[in-house]
Structure 1
Amino acid sequence: MRTFLSLTSLLLRGFFSACCLWSAVAMAAGDGMLWKVQAGNGTVSYLFGTIHVDDPRVTTLAEPVIAALESAQSFMMEVLPSNDVSPYYMQGSLAQLLTEAELEQVYAAADFHGLPRDMALRMKPWLLSMVFDLPVSQSPYTLDVQLYLQAQRAGKAVEALETPQEHFSALESIKLEEQLQILRSVLKRSQEQKEKDFELLIQAYLSGDLDKVAALDSELTADDLPAGLWEKLRVKLLDERNVRMAERIAAAADRQPVFVAVGAAHLPGEGGVIDLLNRSGFNVSPVK
């Protein structure tokens, strides 16, 4: 499901790397995605919109992003990397839930991604949908992970905007049959189409246009899902989490300079993190 490229956690790649041993462009990632967040007391923090992939075109950071990270006392991201894989496995097996034809598609996709078939059958359908909808992993280090490691190396305090339980609750709220709908929609799409859509998202991100990223993300996902299911996902994955994350960013940014990395689709529009921070008394402005 394409929307997860910018809505879900880098934990997906960390899990995939641990279990499976798994040309910068002229415009470096970060142009248009970095925002200055000034509190009423004058404290300056930064908000950076990310995309949770390992493509080298987005993991090459612009100088203003590097400088903003260096200036902060602490670093915040959606959820911290973890070795706990329990949220990813289901009770039972997909072998009892899919047709023979669908299982053959799962096996082919698992082989393509270097994922053991027995592991694929035990993974929750929402996770398998994410894995199958992405290009083959090039590295375990997504943009978010690189920022996290850089902050650690610089000795900065590292915090999460959500607990693992909060982070996964949105996905866990999706009924099994709805998860299977998402998986089936991904299985129907060709690898060529997946790669084409992925490239559209990368180019939108590199353009620095937050509204374009959010609109494309929504459009690509909504095309494949029943309207009711997409609306439910949007509320759970975006709207509800935006409120929680904005509250925690505000509390941290009132105390000290902080660098916050969060999926770009969470930032724009009414009810987005930028709007919520402005309404909380912060002055949020783009870094040119």
Structure 2
Amino acid sequence: MKRFLILVILLLNTVSFANASERGLFWKLKAPNGLTHYLFGTIHTDDNRIIKFLPAVKKSVNASDLLLVEITPGDHSQNLFMKNYSLVSHLNAEELNQIKKLSEFHVMYFENVIRMKPWLLAIIFDSPKPHTEFNQDYLLMAMAEDLDKEVLGIESSKEHFASMDSLSLDEQLMMLRAVLKKTEKERLYDYNLLMKEYLSADVEQIRKTDEQLTGKLLPKALWAKIKIQLMDERNKKMAIKIKELAQDKQLFIAVGASHLSGKDGLLSQLRDSGFKLTPLKAFE
């Protein structure tokens, strides 16, 4: 279960209104007070193409006082499950059979899966099977701990899951059913498309792809509402927290790549606050 906690913790990174000129996933930030910080836009996978960091990444973590991630590290299992509900009561036999097959594919216990929040299962089942727990987020946190750096979360577990938890049970089931209807080939195609955009380091294209893929799982009006909560509102809170901590600490900030782009994205907000941004290379 541990690797799935890491997988879903930050998969809520969907879309924003992008600045077409922005390109880059790893940034050096020079604050108005002279301190140097780093911002890394992550994608939550163990794909070999994006987990072999250049030495500059470790050097930047080492030069920082703390690693700032989206969610406070710890046990988040209490926020993964429904209270007093089971999917057995809400899905038909065919859907439950599909759930069982996907549980086996993702090496998850069916008894646990049927108690998990439907929106969360939709995200897990719509993602490729992780081969290890060593995704980008895990590796950066392990790197920080090895260097005796503090790891701090921008949000609590409850805050992090609040947007999707606000969906009604029927809306969550709608999202899950949309994923269950997809074939393995379709899921793999979507993943490869997102990886292609991530490797291009073009935050506008990452945003567009996120919008396309996640938007297919919910009705248009509902998705528009959730999108504001997931991105615009959270981006503002992230920027406030970053600027507050940046006053007297040097930060290495690791958040989902989609949070970087757009008018309310972190790049724009930090630049408007007087930070000087320089793109760096993170991978070969």
Match of 1:5 in 2: none
Query: 2:153 corresponds to which letter in structure 1?
Result: A
Q: CA deviation at 1:276?
A: 1.3
Residue 207 of structure 1 is matched in structure 2 by: 200
The SS at the match of 1:161 is strand
CA distance in 2, matches of 1:279, 1:156: 28
8 A contact 1:74–1:156 mirrored in 2: yes
Higher relative contact order, chain-length normalized (CA < 8 Å, sep 6+) = 2
Structure 1 stretches lacking a partner, 5+ long: 1-9, 17-30
Is 2:75 the counterpart of 1:83?
yes
| Preserved CA contact (<8 Å) 1:73 1:156 | yes
CA contact (8 A) 1:11 1:82 kept: no
Deviations 1:176-220 (A, max 9, x none): 111111101100000111011111111211111111111111112
Q: Which runs of 5+ in 2 are unaligned?
A: 9-22
Contact 2:7 2:45 in 1 (8 A): no
Q: Distance in 2 between matches of 1:287 and 1:254?
A: 23
Alignment of 1:80-229 (within 5 A): 80-90=72-82, 91-229=84-222
Tell me the secondary structure at the aligned position of residue 226 of structure 2. helix
Aligned to 1:267: 260
Matched, 1:70 2:62: yes
- Structure-2-length-normalised TM-score: 0.88
Please tell me the root mean square deviation across aligned C-alpha atoms, in Å: 1.9
**How do 1:245-256 and structure 2 match up within 5 A?**
245-256=238-249
AA partner of residue 53 (structure 1): T
Letter in 2 for 1:78: E
The residue type equivalent to 2:121 in the other structure is L
8 Å Cα contact 1:76-1:160 kept in structure 2: yes
Q: How many residues are treated as equivalent by the alignment?
A: 265
Cα distance between partner residues in 2 of 1:62 and 1:85: 33
Tell me which residue corresponds to 2:39: 47
Determine the C-alpha separation between the residues in 2 that align with 1:161 and 1:109: 32
Aligned AA (1:36): K
Residues 7 and 44 of structure 2 are in contact (CA less than 8 Å); yes or no, is this contact kept in structure 1? no
Matched, 1:277 2:270: yes
CA distance in 2, matches of 1:261, 1:83: 19
The answer as to whether partners of 1:35 and 1:285 remain within 8 angstroms in 2 is yes
Aligned to 2:12: none
Give the distance between the partners of 1:183 and 1:146, measured in 2 at CA. Answer: 29
Q: Which amino acid aligns with 1:69?
A: V
Identity of aligned residues (%): 36
CA distance in 2, matches of 1:129, 1:92: 17
